[in-house]
Structure 1
């Protein structure tokens, strides 16, 4: 699973790089091992874009075209939701925003599209240093033909693993290390992806629920106060949520809740 995570991220990162049309036209594909490979128009080292993939067959190197590589990259895109959930800050952010909507007792405000958009852009803001480092360390050198794919994949994935382990609790890391029947690791660099990913997502869920609990407290107090007042006035048939909703919104606006919440979420990844 560790190798799969390396390949999935690196191929997804390559999708962000625009393909060069000249490179696509200057490479050829081999349809059968019985047919002799066609010599490329220009040397690989002089072509821009993704290097042509060379496969050894019976001692002869065969070049697969960029088009075939694009098909493979599009296939790997199916892993994007899992990568988004397991390797970034998206999980914590979207869960806390969902708790906020429930605490305010607004079932569809903000709508799902707004919450997802805010979570995605906030995730991009938090993860931008990690993305930049992964591009500079792994993707760009590979695109410039300075390193091989075998060296570029772990170099591009290392910033993500470092980010995940910095947000992972030691207890969760020890739990999955024990479940994997591994010995305690000497350093975080030795932790494989198959252990780091579930430990990270478990820690993110716990952190998100803790933040959601703290977020619920002030709004819960308002609900209790409104319910007590209605009961004392003999208005037990009136739903407390209808009366408390304007007070919740007023409190959230008065304390500049959106700036406070978004700032807390973003800052929680840098502490």
Structure 2
């Protein structure tokens, strides 16, 4: 008790008679120079544009690319195996990102050739850059909707918003993006159901065998887990899933 009182008294004395100086914080000021050249202003706007794109990158990745379908299918595979957190979320997201870069490479090459490079060379304005980029992305989304017969998503959403859309090409960017995301979720769930069926059969067989042997207290999932993993590995399950995902994109 005496030691505690002594330490407390020393701390009180040091903090009272020898206060620490506060560290100065750096100040940030934003000023607009009227003598700034137009080129400097364009460079500043380009930096702001890059920062904005980096901030919205996750949303752009999920809305306009193949990432949504891939990550949904991978989640179904993990849940069907019953391995809980194996593979972990970081691994699934990393693998989904790599596949997204691979699948979307033709689209990004088209954007780089017909939109980004002309804008960097000063041949087109930033309005034309955004318009050309969106036209290329719209072409990709329309192709996926048509290939998987999900054009009805556009008309259903248009009717819900009281918009008159006769053709899928006439849909607005926001409407087409919403229909595309909805279609990607539907396709991911359809592929997930096909993945789930073999694993459900294995669980039913194992549960029937345990019930016939009178092993009621043993959870069937605990016994079927190694068999599901073994069959999945022997059948090259990950390779089959990834190849099916790549082929599902036009």
Q: Which TM-score band (shorter chain)?
A: 0.7 to 0.9
Q: Does 1:201 align with 2:202?
A: no
Matches within 5 A, 1:1-271: 31-32=32-33, 35=34, 37-39=35-37, 52=39, 64=41, 66-168=43-145, 169-186=150-167, 188=169, 190-270=170-250
Shift of residue 65 of structure 1?
Answer: 5.4
Distance 2:220 2:43 in 1: 62
Q: Deviations over 1:181-218 (max 9, x none)?
A: 22223452x32211111101111111111100110000
What displacement does 1:249 show? Answer: 1.1
Paired residues in the alignment total 217
Q: Which has the larger radius of gyration?
A: 2
SS at match of 2:56: helix
Structure 1 residue 71 displacement after superposition: 3.2
Structure 1 residue 129: deviation in Å? 0.4
Distance across 2 between alignment mates of 1:248 and 1:86: 33
- Residues 126 and 266 of structure 1 are in contact (CA less than 8 Å); yes or no, is this contact kept in structure 2? yes
Tell me if structure 2 keeps the 8 A contact 1:180–1:195: no
Query: After superposition, what is the alpha-carbon deviation per residue over 1:80-136, rounded to whole angstroms, capped at 9, x for unaligned?
Result: 121111100000000100000010010011111110110000011110001110111
Using CA pairs under 8 Å that are at least 6 residues apart, name the structure with larger relative contact order, 1 or 2. 2
Distance 1:72 1:128, change over 3 A: closer
* Structure with the bigger percentage of helix: 2
CA distance in 2, matches of 1:92, 1:151: 30
Verify the 8 A CA contact 2:154 2:168 in the aligned structure 1.
no
For 1:232 and 1:65, locate their aligned partners in 2 and report how far apart those are by CA, in whole Å: 76
Is the partner of 1:262 in helix, strand or coil? helix
5+ long unaligned stretches in structure 2:
1-29
Structure 2 distance, partners of 1:65, 1:151, is: 15
Distance 2:59 2:37 in 1: 39
Structure 1: any 5+ residue segments left out of the alignment? 1-28, 41-51, 53-62
Shift in alpha-carbon separation, 1:38–1:236, aligned structure 2, 3 A: closer
Q: CA deviation at 1:64?
A: 1.0
TM-score, length of structure 1 as denominator length? 0.75
| Contact 2:142 2:168 (C-alpha < 8 Å) held by counterparts | no
Contact 1:94 1:119 in 2 (8 A): yes
